């Protein structure tokens, strides 16, 4: 399946433009034609080759594990299905896009927020049963929502699914994850994914966002495994931020913090508290799937003596509310050498989050609610209040630009709404006062609607029958405008019904291929790809052909336009533009321009 712009995917989603391509998938901005052309993000796996039945079944069963997940810092898929053996996910479209645009430009405060949000999302994933390891944290896989929250995407792709996808792809996709973001342990003999691997990738990602460079170049942890030391951050960064990143990038997995600890460190920073780096978490991690062939002694060495102590800890820990889940504040502190273990119970931290940020988030939520309900004036007012708040607090994290963009969108919607509400021109002084429509109009309209429905479903014989009934009513009541309209509709039915006759005689595939080779293809109509707009190579003339290469609309046109509203297409000849709808029906002819259809 070759995905192209303006293609109707799975008979529903119109492909607008490519948002990104990876080794296993393509991500498209699409319009959902069944929900008012709502913009969504569509991720299609193995689009070129598809999967076999076992691969599709594996993919489906794996995604059952993630569809019930719900967290502020996860971009949760809203729909899953399969089209032509290619699994796909439908997700909310994040207009702010991924954080890859911030590479080399992110500020320190944004980096702390990024660390907090990504760690919170990973902490939630790592706490699932069975544990979910992301395996591919990098700038392209972290997006921003309208509130400025960072959200992890592309989670739930297990090693088994990645292997299946890799085998299906014609390209040489070597390994799960991008090498530059892969830690040293992934290049060893026992390279099962572990939670600490995600933490290393977070450190590498933040390093890149701040400096524009990867800490160990394009080969990632392989260089570190060979003996390279953790590089120093270039630029003026706080000691605490450098320490957090350095701990994430430790060569040995057990020396890295877990996601929950990263959340606690970042929260301490955002509250203005000093981070206690000498405190270790109470639990070390294990591989996502145990294996008798994996040497886990390095990862869990020194932990056995803590088991009994940990049991006691769960009886005395303090819990406090922060973000999306309760945070355990009890910790275990190791002293060197590791001959004794001491339990340190921290005091419950005081909630000291910046008050204006809570107000800011609530204002944006209210603005979005107003925008989605069509009250663009109220939405603009709320966004303006948010902007004033950002300016007043001298925030330089990018919120000001984002809110201004939302205000501009509101202005555009307000203008469009005003134009749509403009009253029709006043009737001439001699115009007859409006009177209720005669009784026959209701019956006429009912029959025409039935004819239109039949035409849309390609039942042209039924459509013609219904239009003929409507013609009889219009003739009986001498309504010339309706008579002309219905006659045109009947002619359209005749034309479409007769069009395939040229291809009724069986044609060999060799002959079909020969015919098709005479054209350059432009795009498919949204009717199951029955017809295609083409350009004849011999004279560069435009026309429309069917699947067997028959010209159902002769190639006599010298210009084409395929980006019209409602999915319409237009071809131009010496007499002007001819506009076609998605069922090959001419909706206008002889036009000098296409303004009303753009």
Write out the two tokens for 287: 């591989």
Q: Is a pLDDT exceeding 80 seen at residue 294?
A: no
> Which segment of 99-108, 218-227, 275-284, 328-337 scores lowest on mean pLDDT?
328-337
Domains and CATH numbers, the chain: 99-290+301-345 (1.10.510.10), 355-418 (1.20.58), 440-500 (no CATH), 506-597 (no CATH)
Higher-confidence residue of 303 and 576: namely 576
> Which segment of 6-10, 110-114, 354-358 scores lowest on mean pLDDT?
354-358
For 546, phi and psi rounded to 5 degrees? -95, -175
**pLDDT tens string 383-403:** 888 888 888 888 776 677 777
pLDDT > 70: what percent of the chain?
A: 73
Q: Is a pLDDT exceeding 60 seen at residue 450?
A: yes
Q: What confidence score (pLDDT) does residue 146 get? A: 81
Q: Is a pLDDT exceeding 90 seen at residue 198?
A: yes
Q: What confidence score (pLDDT) does residue 99 get? A: 92
Q: What confidence score (pLDDT) does residue 490 get? A: 85
Q: What confidence score (pLDDT) does residue 66 get? A: 67
Q: Are 567 and 553 in contact (CB under 8 A)?
A: no
Q: What confidence score (pLDDT) does residue 297 get? A: 35
> Residue 68's closest CA among 78, 58, 59, 60?
78
Residue ranges with strand state E in 195-323: 319-322
Q: Is a pLDDT exceeding 70 seen at residue 522?
A: no
Q: What confidence score (pLDDT) does residue 350 get? A: 32
Residue ranges with strand state E in 84-208: 86-92, 142-144, 150-152
Q: What confidence score (pLDDT) does residue 431 get? A: 46
Whole-prediction pTM:
0.47
**For residue 284, what pLDDT band results from cuts at 50, 70 and 90?**
very low
Report the pLDDT averaged over residues 219-245.
Answer: 89
Higher-confidence residue of 396 and 171: namely 396
**pLDDT tens string 108-147:** 999 999 999 999 999 998 988 778 888 889 998 999 988 8
**For residue 489, what pLDDT band results from cuts at 50, 70 and 90?**
confident
> Which segment of 86-100, 205-219, 285-299, 537-551 scores lowest on mean pLDDT?
285-299
Q: Is a pLDDT exceeding 80 seen at residue 166?
A: no
Write out the two tokens for 503: 């291809």
Separation between Cα atoms, residue 529 and residue 7, nearest integer Å: 9
Question: Could you check whether the bond before residue 130 is cis, i.e. omega within 30 degrees of 0?
Answer: yes
* CA angle, residues 277, 280, 281, in degrees to nearest 5: 130
**pLDDT tens string 306-319:** 333 333 233 323 33
Q: What confidence score (pLDDT) does residue 349 get? A: 35
**For residue 351, what pLDDT band results from cuts at 50, 70 and 90?**
very low
Q: How many residues comprise the chain?
A: 598
> Residue 305's closest CA among 276, 337, 328?
337
Task: Name residues whose C-beta falls within 8 Å of residue 306's C-beta, 6 or more positions apart in sequence.
Answer: 282, 332, 341
**pLDDT tens string 560-579:** 876 677 777 788 888 888 88
Q: Is a pLDDT exceeding 60 seen at residue 497?
A: yes
Helix (H) or strand (E) holding 28: strand 25-32
Q: Is a pLDDT exceeding 80 seen at residue 366?
A: no
First to last CA, the chain: 29
**For residue 287, what pLDDT band results from cuts at 50, 70 and 90?**
very low
Question: Could you check whether the bond before residue 337 is cis, i.e. omega within 30 degrees of 0?
Answer: yes
Report the pLDDT averaged over residues 89-100.
Answer: 88
* Residue indicated by tokens 């028959």: 550
Distances in Å between the Cα of 290 and the Cα atoms of 73, 133, 158, 287, 515 are 28, 14, 15, 6, 58
Separation between Cα atoms, residue 251 and residue 498, nearest integer Å: 72
Higher-confidence residue of 255 and 278: namely 255
Radius of gyration of the chain measured on its C-alpha atoms: 31
Q: Are 299 and 375 in contact (CB under 8 A)?
A: no
Q: What confidence score (pLDDT) does residue 307 get? A: 34
Report the pLDDT averaged over residues 22-34.
Answer: 84
Q: Is a pLDDT exceeding 60 seen at residue 426?
A: no
Report the pLDDT averaged over residues 87-110.
Answer: 90
Highest-scoring range by mean pLDDT, 246-260, 422-436, 490-504: 246-260
Q: Is a pLDDT exceeding 80 seen at residue 1?
A: no
Separation between Cα atoms, residue 63 and residue 80, nearest integer Å: 8
Q: What confidence score (pLDDT) does residue 241 get? A: 96
The secondary structure of residue 183, as a DSSP letter, is: -
**For residue 459, what pLDDT band results from cuts at 50, 70 and 90?**
confident
**Mean pLDDT computed over every residue of the chain:** 75
Report the pLDDT averaged over residues 336-361.
Answer: 45
Q: What confidence score (pLDDT) does residue 498 get? A: 61
Q: What confidence score (pLDDT) does residue 161 get? A: 55
Q: Are 594 and 577 in contact (CB under 8 A)?
A: yes
């Amino acid at each position: 399946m070759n995905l192209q712009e303006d293609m109707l995917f799975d008979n529903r989603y119109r492909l607008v433009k490519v948002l990104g391509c990876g080794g296993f998938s393509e991500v498209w901005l699409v319009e959902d034609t069944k929900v008012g052309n709502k913009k969504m993000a569509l991720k299609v796996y193995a689009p070129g080759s598809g999967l076999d039945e076992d691969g599709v079944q594996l993919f489906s069963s794996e995604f059952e594990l993630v569809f019930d997940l719900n967290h502020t810092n996860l971009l949760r898929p809203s729909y899953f299905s399969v089209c032509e053996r290619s699994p796909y996910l439908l997700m909310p479209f994040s207009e702010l896009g991924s954080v890859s645009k911030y590479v080399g430009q992110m500020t320190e405060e944004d980096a702390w927020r990024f660390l907090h949000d990504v760690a919170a999302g990973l902490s939630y994933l790592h706490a699932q049963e069975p544990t979910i390891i992301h395996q591919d944290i990098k700038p392209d896989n972290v997006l921003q929502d309208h509130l400025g929250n960072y959200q992890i995407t592309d989670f739930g792709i297990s090693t088994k699914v990645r292997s299946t996808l890799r085998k299906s792809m014609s390209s040489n996709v070597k390994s799960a994850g991008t090498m530059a973001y892969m830690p040293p342990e992934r290049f060893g003999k026992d390279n099962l994914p572990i939670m600490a691997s995600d933490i290393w990738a977070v450190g590498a990602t933040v390093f890149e966002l701040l400096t524009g460079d990867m800490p160990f170049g394009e080969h990632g942890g392989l260089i570190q495994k060979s003996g390279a030391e953790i590089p120093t951050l270039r630029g003026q960064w706080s000691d605490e931020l450098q320490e957090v990143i350095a701990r994430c990038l430790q060569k040995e997995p057990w020396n890295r913090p877990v996601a929950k600890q990263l959340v606690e460190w970042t929260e301490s920073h955002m509250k203005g508290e000093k981070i206690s780096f000498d405190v270790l978490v109470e639990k070390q991690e294990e591989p996502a799937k145990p294996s008798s062939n994996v040497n886990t002694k390095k990862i869990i060495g020194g932990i056995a003596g803590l088991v009994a102590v940990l049991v006691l800890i769960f009886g005395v820990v303090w819990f406090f509310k922060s973000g999306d889940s309760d945070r355990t504040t009890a910790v275990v502190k190791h002293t060197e050498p590791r001959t004794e273990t001491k339990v340190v119970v921290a005091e419950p931290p005081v909630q000291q989050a910046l008050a204006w940020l809570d107000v800011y988030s609530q204002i944006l939520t209210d603005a979005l609610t107003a925008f989605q309900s069509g009250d663009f004036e109220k939405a603009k007012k709320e966004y303006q209040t948010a902007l004033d708040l950002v300016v007043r607090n001298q925030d330089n994290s990018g919120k000001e630009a984002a809110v201004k963009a939302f205000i501009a969108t509101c202005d555009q919607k307000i203008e469009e709404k005003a134009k749509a509400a403009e009253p029709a021109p006043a009737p001439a002084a001699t115009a007859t006062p409006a009177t209720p429509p005669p009784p026959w109009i209701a019956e006429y309209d009912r029959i025409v609607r039935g004819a239109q429905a039949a035409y849309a479903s390609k039942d042209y014989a039924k459509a013609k029958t219904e239009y003929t009934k409507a013609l009889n009513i219009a003739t009986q009541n001498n309504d010339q405008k309706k008579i002309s309209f219905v006659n045109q509709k009947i002619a359209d039915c005749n034309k479409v019904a007769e069009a395939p006759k040229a291809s009724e005689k069986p044609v060999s595939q060799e002959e079909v291929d020969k015919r098709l080779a005479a054209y350059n293809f432009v795009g498919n109509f949204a009717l199951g790809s029955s017809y295609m707009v083409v350009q004849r190579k011999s004279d560069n003339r435009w026309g429309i052909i069917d699947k067997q290469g028959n010209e159902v609309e002769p190639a006599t046109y010298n210009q084409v336009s395929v980006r019209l509203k409602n999915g319409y297409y237009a071809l131009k000849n010496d007499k002007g533009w001819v506009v076609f709808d998605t069922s090959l029906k001419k909706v206008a002819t002889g036009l000098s321009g296409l303004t009303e259809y753009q």
